[in-house]
Structure 1
């Protein structure tokens, strides 16, 4: 279907600096042209663009002093703060690749990422020191401990704050984010600088205000920085030269206070975060008078939640859809389409200008408008590769098209509708969870003969993990036993919400598990098999 025409309203008052094509350009430009503008505010601390430039220069020099060559992986295990962004820009300026690690992961999960990425340098917040102590493998060669609120200043002391003067290209890798794997082990998605500029340029080139950045904006980053949505949103605001309001971790009361007290104008969240803020005692529309736009993604928004959110927040809403592999958003449901009850509220959105969409069948043949198949997206922001997995890369990135693993269709106006999932992913509060990872962990329990994991609808989190377990005869574990077994092996968001014991796993004549036969029972009354 290629590139459809793009609906929307042209605007001419947005911030756009087309000459910036890498994050290094971004740091240099704003330090020179708006040095005293606040780049990041976190808790009671603020960092100007001039200081962000200087401190990230020190980080870059210190990284290079360890012997890290261009392309070396640098891991970060900690929560968000201004110091996280000093490290991000320091990696960009040293031409190394930042590997942000989900701080909710267990020690074995963290170990896999460190070993797979080959990170010889790890920035570690003190809060997560116990994780390092429990690693089943050797830690990276260099571990930089960060006390909360202080950042890497002690480690970079003595290094110059001058620009390292390296000039990466838009195709130079800058980040490697890990996603849950279909085979049980997370894969490293390598993103280049261009992933953080392509959509901005597409919107500006078409004069569209689906998502925009304006002078004086203060942008709340509600999605964690180890997630592509959080990293992408923060960089968009840095590229525009506005202020990022960083939260250590999302908490609804803190988010409300931050929006009100700091005059936040834009925010990027998942729908579950909206629901949490709506549920806070004493929250009222006056808390959000400065908020003009909420960008959300990770899961669709229900009609009821949209109506409540429109009444409380009083802002525009823009839904984004994409994958880590597409460099985050590739499709957007613009504010003009956020009309309760309108059929387009069931759409993921419309591709940005210059981004193509098509639907294919199981043989790779393109299907006509309205036919359901696998959604594929062609975007200049797409990943470089899955780190050290050329076969998996070739399966997902084919001739410039990302095969999403989502089943859906495209309508006559170019809107993309998601109907189901092909790759069995479960979406828990915006986090992709793959059954194989949980099944592999469960089947290590001596009382489990076999396990099958499916996703079930959940009103708060979108979806939840449901475990079907075939117990070993005479050694049947209890749900409590299984929970205790998994809690040190899997991150909390991957843990099953319920365990159901069955006599055998349904299979077809060739022995393949009929996962859908188990999953569909939860979704039979739904008009689409995603939530």
Structure 2
């Protein structure tokens, strides 16, 4: 039974069903609890009232800069309170936020800016060297975060003259909110357009069946370990804002700092990738007493080993919920609830169960649905799904078919409806939660004059889940050293995509039609493993 504000009073769970767009979220909580901290970051605090006012100024400033509804606004920087001010400012001006992975190189950033057509860039000062390399790819307007107020292109000066009054907007749940770039098998990142509904659909699905697989409660303090340029980081932040609780933002994840924040700020919930759990477990001197305030950890972004999960359950002493989904599904579509996290239990290898109202099926290579237990491509149907791949209607039609997202993951569904992931169809490598696609690295590596051909695969790694392994066929008469290849790539692709090892081979194995037998090379590392994901 909900009270007059929509809060579920009987168990202090927070659910406000009338909120369906992010502009409504910040407006409502600014009125309901103006002094409550919305964001804490590096010792600074921003209340809900301040978040509302500052995002109003940003919305007015975006309009004053000539940005129309649907215009793209890029953000290159680490997480801070300013990131969320800008997120809500975009929501209130009907513009679309394009958060850029700050680990990318200038050529990779250039592609995203040009592909999205971003008209304005919010730039953290530490990434100014990237801007200098962009040339004509830089947007017409650049606003510098961290510059002094006296500088006309600084963030404070840019918004200083704008009113903090609420702008009139006509936002609906289907209004585009963000455009997140995800790499693909073609080697070029694609812009996944997500609407406001992606931030509310799963919340509604859980509340509709009174499920607490993932829940938000009065007094929660939520840690965000996943960057905002990832759908997981964006989704987790918005879920907590929708509930009106405090978000603790880390500019970049560091295990020691995370332990300190949990202990000193009384963190109750956190969203992380499995590699972060391992880093926390390995932090010197850490004990279960450091985590007594935690009540739930939500994790996802890459598969988790049973041993890591069991170690985490023992150390953190709280509930765990695993989430599975894609950027294209608006983040999570499947969840392994806390009740299924039983060491040695039959479902510890499962990705989870679809939320109420979310569809899951497995199909063969002809598109026919397979019976229970048979392995094929996992497809998901969710109201949180993407609007489209920006400017790529053919690619959109390949991935989004009759309302179903084709994930590219191979797996099966058991008799109870649980989804199990066993392999990848699209060859993705997941390094500490970051998707890395072989074609992108191969395309760059083969530009080196000493490389005739290259094949990239993932190999299991205890710490990061997987690492990148490069098989290289040297050009005739020229065999570059691994150091040469590493230096060449480091100037052109992000560091997390760099191979951990380069192995020279005489030829690339192919089938009679000439297709690379990538699986043959990859299986050297995975052998007879039941799951060829780590």
Task: Report TM bin, short chain.
Answer: over 0.9
Partner SS, residue 468 of structure 1: strand
**1:289 partnered with 2:288:** no
- 1:66-465 aligned at under 5 Å gives the runs 66-135=65-134, 137-147=136-146, 152-465=155-468
When structure 1 is superposed on structure 2, of 408-417 and 279-288 the one drifting more is 279-288
* Gap change, CA 1:149 and 1:424, over 3 Å in 2: farther
Residue-by-residue CA offset, 1:189-243 (whole Å, 9 max, x unaligned) = 0000000000000000010010000011000000000000000000000000000
CA distance in 1, matches of 2:132, 2:41: 28
Native 8 Å contact 1:77 1:102 kept in 2: yes
Native 8 Å contact 1:111 1:137 kept in 2: no
CA distance in 2, matches of 1:246, 1:138: 30
Displacement after TM superposition at 1:347 (Å): 0.4
Which has the higher relative contact order, 1 or 2, with Cα contacts under 8 A spaced 6 or more apart? 1
Displacement after TM superposition at 1:12 (Å): 4.7
* Gap change, CA 1:149 and 1:244, over 3 Å in 2: farther
Displacement after TM superposition at 1:149 (Å): 11
Native 8 Å contact 1:468 1:502 kept in 2: yes
Partner SS, residue 279 of structure 2: helix
CA distance in 2, matches of 1:219, 1:475: 54
CA distance in 2, matches of 1:338, 1:24: 36
When structure 1 is superposed on structure 2, of 425-434 and 233-242 the one drifting more is 425-434
CA-atom RMSD in angstroms: 1.2
Residue-by-residue CA offset, 1:466-490 (whole Å, 9 max, x unaligned) = 1111100111111100000000101
CA distance in 2, matches of 1:259, 1:346: 28
Partner SS, residue 258 of structure 1: helix
Native 8 Å contact 1:409 1:418 kept in 2: yes
Residue aligning to 1:8: none
When structure 1 is superposed on structure 2, of 84-93 and 425-434 the one drifting more is 425-434
| Count, aligned residues | 521
Displacement after TM superposition at 1:165 (Å): 1.5
When structure 1 is superposed on structure 2, of 515-524 and 150-159 the one drifting more is 150-159
CA distance in 1, matches of 2:346, 2:442: 37
Partner SS, residue 134 of structure 2: coil
CA distance in 1, matches of 2:155, 2:285: 39
Partner SS, residue 345 of structure 1: coil
Displacement after TM superposition at 1:159 (Å): 0.3
Displacement after TM superposition at 1:152 (Å): 2.8
What are the ranges of 5 or more consecutive residues in structure 2 without an aligned counterpart?
1-9
**1:48 partnered with 2:47:** yes
Residue aligning to 2:510: 507
Residue-by-residue CA offset, 1:491-528 (whole Å, 9 max, x unaligned) = 01100111111111111111111111111111113111
Native 8 Å contact 2:67 2:95 kept in 1: yes
TM-score by length of 1: 0.97
CA distance in 1, matches of 2:41, 2:87: 16
Residue-by-residue CA offset, 1:238-264 (whole Å, 9 max, x unaligned) = 000000000111000000000100000
TM-score by length of 2: 0.96
Displacement after TM superposition at 1:298 (Å): 1.1
